[in-house]
Amino acid sequence: MNHLKITNLSKTYPNGVKALQNISLDIPIGMFGLLGPNGAGKSTLMRTIATLQEPDVGTIEFGGLNTTENKMEIRKILGYLPQQYGLYPKVSAEVLLNHLAVLKGLTHKQARKEMVAALLQKTNLYQVRKQNLGGFSGGMKQRFGIAQALLTNPKLLIVDEPTAGLDPGERNRFYNILSEISEQTVVILSSHIVDDIQELCTNMAIIHQGQVVLSGKPLTFLEDLKGKVYQKTILKEERSNYYQSYQVISEKLFLGNPVINILSETPPGNGFTPILANLEDVYFSHIEKNKQD
Ligand code: ADP
């Protein structure tokens, strides 16, 4: 069974930062979103799952194999796209992918050629395969990253903040590729962007300060907030009064005035109107709650 099980994972860096605190998650096949602000511990968790660093405490199992005790086996079935990685700028996509395929042990020339061509097709890079990577846009580079991560036909694919710097069109293309892969693969996607998770993931967790503050299905979370989120445009000078009187979960500016969303079990009156909760409300309500606790 291809299933990732994380149990009681903790990691404290030598400088004392508690990057992971007793994290437990069950991650099935499909797209799993890891949502959290910068510094929440997402990259630490992903590097640990990718066997690049070890936890102080806790275990990770994939398909029943303990990842720390079976690093080599896990690496054979793992695809990892880190947040930042270097590409050789003066080499074409096709040449580099072919080279990486050799390094990954695809020694049979014909099979390798077919694999490289198929991956370039899959990531919509076939037309530009002869171009040097140095001239690729951010989106093309990310798609190349996915192509190289798929060389091993991974059963577990980890992508860390993949949409940073992508324009909306590129972001969509990238999502479509991931979505197709996730039909047969455990795909873990980290992001601090709520929309990334909302559009793609069937399961998710919110992490904050190294802890899981919520995990489950986005649809369930939205259901839980139904009828509890209210909105009002207020004046700047009234802000602090509202923050004292209501459980404010987020604030945006509209034409220079603050628009606040609040959480309330009963209709608050006072000019607030009920709104349909979105994942951003879920996210902020839990991050705020966690801060207050
Ligand atoms: P995220 O990916 O959610 O932004 P990270 O896992 O990168 O979070 O970081 C979690 C916390 O651990 C942050 O406070 C960060 O500064 C700290 N951290 C990350 N890597 C190291 C490291 N190698 N040494 C010390 N502290 C680190």
- How is the chain split into domains, by residue range? 4-217, 227-276
- From the list 31, 26, 15, the residue with the least C-alpha distance to 188 is 31
> Quick check: CB of 17 below 6 Å from ligand 1?
yes
> Is 234 exposed, middle or buried, given 0-12, 13-18 or 19+ CB atoms closer than 10 A?
middle
Q: From atom 20 of ligand 1, which residue's Cα is the shortest distance away?
A: 44
Task: Name the residue with the closest Cα to ligand 1, atom 15.
Answer: 39
Residues written for the chain: 293
Q: Could you tell me the two tokens for 220?
A: 């369930």
Nearest Cα residue to 41 out of 191, 209, 213: 209
The pLDDT assigned to 232 comes to 96
Ligand 1: does its nearest atom lie under 6 Å from the Cβ of 85?
no
Q: Output the six-digit token pair for 36.
A: 């959290």
Judge if the beta carbon of residue 41 lies within 6 A of ligand 1.
Answer: yes
Q: What pLDDT shows up at residue 17?
A: 96
Closest ligand 1 atom to the C-alpha of 44?
6
Whether 19 is in the pocket of ligand 1, judged by its Cβ within 6 Å, is yes
Query: Counting atoms of ligand 1 from 1, which one is nearest the CA of 13?
Result: 25
Residue 44 beta carbon below 6 angstroms from any ligand 1 atom: yes
Whole-angstrom distance, CA of residue 167 vs CA of residue 156: 26
Give Cβ neighbours of residue 71 (< 8 Å, ≥ 6 apart).
51
Nearest protein CA to atom 19 of ligand 1, as residue: 44
Q: Ligand 1: does its nearest atom lie under 6 Å from the Cβ of 42?
A: yes
Distance 20 CA to ligand 1 centre (A): 9
Ligand 1 atom closest to the CA of 207, numbered from 1: 3
How many angstroms does the Cα of residue 10 sit away from the middle of ligand 1?
13
What is the distance between the alpha carbons of residues 187 and 79, in angstroms, rounded to a whole number?
A: 9
Of 120, 122, 128, 125, the closest CA to residue 178 belongs to 122
Indicate which atom in ligand 1 lies nearest the CA of residue 15. Answer: 25
The reported pLDDT for the residue numbered 139 is: 86
CA angle 27, 32, 33 (to 5 degrees): 130
What is the pLDDT tens value at each position of the chain, 293 positions in all? 689 999 999 999 999 999 999 999 999 999 999 999 889 999 999 999 999 999 999 999 999 999 999 999 999 899 998 877 778 889 999 999 999 999 888 889 999 999 999 999 988 899 999 999 999 988 889 899 999 999 988 999 999 888 877 888 888 888 888 999 999 999 999 988 888 888 889 999 999 999 999 999 998 988 999 999 999 999 999 999 999 999 999 899 999 899 999 999 999 999 999 999 888 888 888 887 777 66
What is the pLDDT at residue 292? 67
Q: With a 6 A CB cut-off, is 164 part of the ligand 1 pocket? A: no
Pairing of strands 273-274, 4-12: unpaired
Instruction: Give the CATH number of domain 4-217; options: 3.40.50.300, 2.60.40.10, 1.10.1060.10, 3.30.470.20.
Output: 3.40.50.300
Q: Is 43 in the pocket of ligand 1 (CB under 6 A)?
A: yes
Ligand 1 center to residue 17 CA distance, Å? 8
Distance 82 CA to ligand 1 centre (A): 14
Closest residue CA from atom 25 of ligand 1: 13
- 38 with 210: CB under 8 angstroms? no
Span from the CA of 263 to the centroid of ligand 1 (angstroms): 31
The burial class, CB within 10 Å (0-12 / 13-18 / 19+), for 130 is exposed
